[in-house]
């Protein structure tokens, strides 16, 4: 744990501050995109049912005008709107997510990182992180389809008064949630592998799933560490909130001072959350480096665990950046790589993959 706190002390403020700035910028872009989506959806919806804005604001519209709003076409429109909402949300916040993972991996594998690295990695891994999120969501949805069907059957059984069948279906529903939990757990290291080894969205997800089968105990122990970190975060936020929330249990709870204190506490939580989230994610990255990375980037004198080519599915045993075994080509001369950066921090494995566009290389 001393290594974790050393890394956190050296890089925590930089990473948390970068995530805070990136999250604020992403939230502004997300708000604008969702507002435009709402306006477009409203115009299309009103035009589809033949209702003008004047009719909507002049009084209660007649039932004949509102009936089309509850038809099959309206349901399809709502489904499309929901899908667009999900895509826009994940698309917008893929940038801070990619920047955070890349920055944390650089700090863990190299021992240090820079504020500007957040934006470098955010741009570099933006589409890869977004596509991987979509793959994980699609996997969760496919796994959840049987559970959703059982849940619907349980509702019908409950309405029919068949208590025995309802209990059986509820138990079956809970059992069907286990595969979803295992899938989420097994994909836990996928974004770490993607950003640390410059893998593709699907390839890094497959590697994470394969590692889960080989190192199941490591995954569960990492999950316990993440839960412990989350509990500690909640406890600290609760302690910090005591002076702010006192007006809720006093006579001043309805006063302007009480409202101001509550608003200030909410702002404090929003400011602190990026730092806490970065600290918890650093646990995940450090566990990957110390316990699992050797199975993805093995030493040159040993074959990889998933094939006999010295790497996992053809990966570079030196840990350099690659996609499908081909290193990216730079437009200019490639600077000399700092080969001893990992050793000076006590690392026996390759340091973070270096790219000619990295700010700390060109500086």
- Tens-place pLDDT, residues 147-156: 989 988 888 8
Higher-confidence position of 265 and 328: 265
Average pLDDT, the chain: 79
**pLDDT, tens digit, 9 for 90 and up, residues 145-183:** 999 899 888 888 888 888 888 889 889 999 999 999 999
Phi, psi of 209 (to 5 degrees): -65, -40
Tokens representing residue 90 in the block: 């994940």
Integer Cα distance of 95 and 19 in angstroms: 10
Q: CB count, 10 Å around CB of 314?
A: 14
Integer Cα distance of 179 and 192 in angstroms: 22
Tokens representing residue 276 in the block: 């806490």
Phi, psi of 6 (to 5 degrees): -65, -45
Which stretch of 59-63, 105-109, 157-161, 339-343 has the lowest confidence by average pLDDT? 339-343
CB-CB contact of 186 with 208 (8 Å): yes
Asked, for residue 51, whether it belongs to a domain, the answer is yes
Integer Cα distance of 101 and 288 in angstroms: 12
Q: What is the dihedral of CA 268, 232, 23, 242, to 10 degrees?
A: -10
- Is the pTM here over 0.85, yes or no? no
SS3 at position 40: helix
Integer Cα distance of 153 and 303 in angstroms: 50
Phi, psi of 112 (to 5 degrees): -155, 155
Tokens representing residue 308 in the block: 């006999």
Share of the chain above pLDDT 70, in %: 71
Query: Is residue 125's pLDDT more than 70?
Result: yes
pLDDT attached to residue 324: 41
Asked, for residue 33, whether it belongs to a domain, the answer is yes
Integer Cα distance of 200 and 345 in angstroms: 28
Asked, for residue 12, whether it belongs to a domain, the answer is yes
Tokens representing residue 38 in the block: 């709402």
Q: Which residues contact 6 (CB under 8 A, 6 or more apart)?
A: none
Asked, for residue 65, whether it belongs to a domain, the answer is yes
**pLDDT, tens digit, 9 for 90 and up, residues 6-40:** 999 999 999 999 999 999 999 999 999 999 998 88
Phi, psi of 196 (to 5 degrees): -80, -35
**For the chain, the helix, strand and coil percentages under 3-state DSSP, each to the nearest 5:** 75, 0, 25
Number of residues assigned to the chain: 363
DSSP state, residue 1 = -
Integer Cα distance of 277 and 296 in angstroms: 25
CB-CB contact of 200 with 321 (8 Å): no
CB-CB contact of 121 with 22 (8 Å): no
317 sits in which H/E element: none
Q: In which domain, by residue range, is 19 found?
A: 1-124
Handedness of CA 217, 181, 277, 228 (dihedral sign): negative
Place of tokens 């400011």: 271
Asked, for residue 347, whether it belongs to a domain, the answer is no
Query: Is residue 212's pLDDT more than 60?
Result: yes
Integer Cα distance of 54 and 288 in angstroms: 59
Candidates 299, 284, 271, 248; CA nearest to 104 is: 284
Q: 323 forms bridges with which residues in the sheet?
A: 326
Integer Cα distance of 207 and 295 in angstroms: 9
Asked, for residue 67, whether it belongs to a domain, the answer is yes
Integer Cα distance of 138 and 86 in angstroms: 12
**41 falls in which pLDDT band (50, 70, 90)?**
confident
**pLDDT, tens digit, 9 for 90 and up, residues 73-108:** 667 778 888 899 999 999 999 999 999 999 999 999
**pLDDT, tens digit, 9 for 90 and up, residues 230-278:** 999 999 988 988 887 776 666 555 567 777 888 888 899 999 999 999 9
Helix then strand count (H, E) for the chain reads 13, 0
Asked, for residue 180, whether it belongs to a domain, the answer is no
Asked, for residue 120, whether it belongs to a domain, the answer is yes
pLDDT attached to residue 78: 81
DSSP state, residue 323 = B
Per the structure, the count of domains in the chain is 1
Higher-confidence position of 311 and 183: 183
């Amino acid at each position: 744990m001393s290594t974790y706190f050393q890394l956190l002390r050296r890089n925590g403020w930089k990473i948390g501050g970068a995530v805070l700035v990136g999250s604020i910028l992403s939230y502004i872009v997300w708000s604008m995109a969702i507002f435009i989506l709402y306006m477009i959806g409203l115009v299309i919806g009103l035009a589809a049912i033949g209702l003008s804005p004047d009719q909507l604001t002049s009084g209660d519209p007649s039932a004949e005008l509102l009936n089309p709003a509850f038809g099959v076409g309206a349901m399809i429109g709502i489904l499309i709107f929901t899908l667009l909402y999900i895509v826009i949300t994940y698309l917008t916040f893929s940038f801070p997510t990619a920047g955070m993972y890349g920055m944390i991996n650089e700090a863990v594998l190299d021992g240090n990182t820079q504020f500007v690295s957040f934006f470098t990695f955010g741009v570099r891994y933006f589409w890869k992180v977004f596509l991987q999120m979509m793959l994980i969501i699609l996997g969760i949805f496919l796994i959840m389809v049987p559970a959703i069907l059982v849940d619907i059957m349980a509702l019908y059984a409950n309405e029919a008064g068949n208590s025995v069948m309802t209990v059986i279906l509820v138990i079956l529903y809970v059992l069907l949630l286990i595969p979803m939990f295992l899938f989420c757990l097994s994909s836990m290291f996928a974004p770490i592998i993607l950003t640390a080894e410059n893998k593709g969205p699907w390839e890094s997800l497959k590697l994470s799933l394969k590692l889960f089968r080989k190192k199941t105990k490591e995954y569960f122990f990492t999950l316990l560490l993440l839960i412990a970190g989350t509990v500690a975060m909640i406890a600290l936020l609760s302690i910090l909130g005591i002076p702010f929330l006192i007006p809720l249990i006093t006579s001043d709870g309805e006063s302007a001072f009480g409202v101001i204190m509550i608003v200030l506490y909410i702002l404090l939580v929003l400011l602190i959350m990026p730092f806490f989230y970065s600290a918890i994610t650093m646990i995940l990255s450090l566990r990957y480096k110390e316990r699992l990375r050797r199975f993805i980037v093995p030493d040159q004198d040993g074959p990889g665990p998933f094939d006999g080519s010295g790497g996992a599915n053809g990966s570079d045993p030196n840990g350099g950046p690659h996609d499908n075994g081909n290193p990216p080509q730079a437009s200019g001369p490639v600077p000399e790589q700092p080969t001893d950066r990992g050793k000076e921090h006590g690392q026996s494995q390759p340091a973070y993959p270096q790219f000619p566009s990295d700010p700390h290389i060109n500086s």
